[in-house]
Structure 1
């Protein structure tokens, strides 16, 4: 909500955050989203969808590095990747840094998001949309995963919160079809809200993932933009060993890639799976 050059987020009942607006860059509602983009002197350009902050220029690297590199380095042999959502291009940018990956399929429901982010957040994608390995599909993520015959080593759900068209990417049906389209030792990861204020959503995701994956849990990162604490990432795989990677092996894989990170590193990777006790207690009740 924009009022008197202040943007207020009220996604969480009785709580919220605000940003001072230096300049409104874009404001329009289409069939999928209510999109606002504005500039803030601290966080740079900020995009909100349905009045919830999605990304900022300042701290996007934390979210995108963790959503991408944790599963890729855990797996070690990723060749085929599916990104569902992620129209800002940040996850695609990080995935493209792995030159051993052969094929990247990206499914985004709203081409407008991609075009807007190319204009107002060019460093998010950093020309990754021109990568020859990319196959871009404009479609609903659930519809695509239900009908595709492709198999993937890694599926990344880089979705909005479970409101509006983003609801489809939190359904049990979605997780089932993701599992069906993973190769042996494949990994599924997804954005899953903040740990403290969205614990019920985390609990529901966990109950649904347990139906289809032998190993399911969450890992986390601290992203200042996302109000309410640590952002959670859902994890699903049938190979528990991938989550318990030896730090020496992890360091070797990272060194070999020669990728420059701003947030991610081996210790962050391993410690990110250590969850607060209140979450563990909640998950234990499922």
Structure 2
């Protein structure tokens, strides 16, 4: 008998994935998690019936979330990741030899454990890197209480429902900006603008008043329903986003990193958005 996984983000639309085999399924204290194999998309991780990543296209999201802010900054030494227990963003941040420490704050230890067991290709040994500092706690609580400062903060959150809702609150963004260094950059998952405009609206309204430079970049991830995903951008200095593409190319070449989606030219172009992506922002 054919088994199907239904992703239902919206009341009037759902997506069906034919399940090759269920690798793992369980409900933790914080969320309902399933990992299964699919002929087209490879191995899929879903939380609370929403696809979080697939091994066929995870590199698009993870590369844009990590290399874009780190290379824009140009001298990032300390990076903070909120969420991201699968280890994909962590892996890409640690590719930068100039980065001295990456602190990953994940609310659910089981996401890390299960990703290491069933999706080891995503983190690819990143959790064994001595520069990785893993803290199991609520991300909002961490940024509200810590005295540490970070050059880059990456909010690899779920959608603004359930436990992930707090990571879109103005008070959370205020705490995040308070953790940034003078030239610090924050990027955050902000949803698909044409299908779930409320996510980017929350990011816009909560983060823009707190930073000198605010905007969105785009990441076209095929398995995220609705097309392009917006990544919120906030920085204490407008000069960081204005880094010339020639300088970005030099930084990228000097890093020795090989990517499958990110390039310095993609970096610059990612900030150019169609008007229809922004009309709901007011």
> TM-score, length-normalised on structure 1?
0.96
Residue 237 (1) aligns with residue 270 (2): no
Residue 150 in 1 paired to residue 148 in 2? yes
Alignment of 1:40-119 (within 5 A): 40-119=38-117
Deviations 1:77-113 (A, max 9, x none): 0001001100000000000000011111110000100
Among candidates 24, 27, 38, match of residue 26 of structure 1: 24
Contact 2:28 2:110 in 1 (8 A): no
**Does residue 17 of structure 1 match 2:15?**
yes
What is the 5 A alignment of 1:117-136?
A: 117-136=115-134
Give the match's secondary structure for 1:11.
strand
What corresponds to 1:250 in structure 2? 248
Deviation at 1:211, TM superposition (A): 2.2
CA drift of 1:126 comes to: 0.4
* SS in structure 2 of the partner of residue 193 of structure 1: coil
Counterpart Cα distance in 2 of 1:277 and 1:101: 36
The alpha carbon displacement at 1:40 in A equals 0.4
Aligned counterpart, 1:37: 35
Displacement of 1:243 in angstroms is 1.2
**How far apart, in 1, do the equivalents of 2:3 and 2:247 lie?**
50
Task: Please give the secondary structure, in 2, of the residue aligned with 1:261.
Answer: coil
The 5-angstrom pairing of residues 221-236 of structure 1 reads 221-236=219-234
Q: Would you say the 8 A contact 1:193–1:202 is kept in 2?
A: yes
Q: Secondary structure at the match of 1:167?
A: helix
Q: Contact (CA 8 Å) 1:162, 1:170: kept in 2 or not?
A: yes
CA distance in 2, matches of 1:154, 1:205: 17
Q: CA deviation at 1:118?
A: 0.7
User: Residue 32 of structure 1 contacts residue 164 of structure 1 at CA under 8 Å; is this kept in 2?
Assistant: no
The CA deviation at 1:168 is 1.4
How many Å separate the matches in 2 of 1:41 and 1:179? 42
Residue 215, structure 1, aligned to residue 241, structure 2? no
C-alpha distance in 1 between matches for 2:134 and 2:117? 18
Residue 29 of structure 1: how far off its partner (Å): 0.9
Deviations along 1:152-191, one digit per CA (max 9) or x if unpaired, are: 0010001111111111111111100001110001001011
User: Which of the numbers 255, 259, 262 marks the counterpart of 1:261?
Assistant: 259
* Paired residues of 2:159 and 2:199 also in contact (CA < 8 A): no
2:194 corresponds to: 196
Gaps of 5+ in 1: none
Post-superposition offset of 1:4: 5.1
Structure 1 distance, partners of 2:157, 2:96, is 22
Q: Which segments of 5 or more consecutive residues in structure 2 lack a partner in the other structure?
A: none
